[in-house]
Amino acid sequence: MPNLVRPPFVPLDENKAVRIYHRNLPHWRQEGVTYFVTFRLADSIPDHVRQGWEDEKGNWLKAH
């Protein structure tokens, strides 16, 4: 098996331009950053936990 060289992880830079668009889910695009995909089943997170995350996300989006 050949040695694979992994590219470095490059997080979103809050100081650079971000293109945000929506289809079924929001998509955030920024040149040169690392992307990842997450998913979950509809009933895998309790409603009160999910709502807390939604509140945190809303607060973050207002601040940024």
Q: Is 18 within 8 Å of 30 (Cβ atoms)?
A: yes
**3-state SS of the chain: helix, strand, coil percent to 5?**
25, 10, 60
Give the chain's residues under pLDDT 50.
none
Those residues whose C-beta lies under 8 Å from the C-beta of residue 30, and which sit 6 or more positions away, are 12, 13, 16, 17, 18, 19
> Residue 15's Cα: distance from chain center in Å?
16
pTM of the model: 0.45
**What was the pLDDT predicted at 48?**
93
**What was the pLDDT predicted at 1?**
60
**Domain locations along the chain:** 19-63
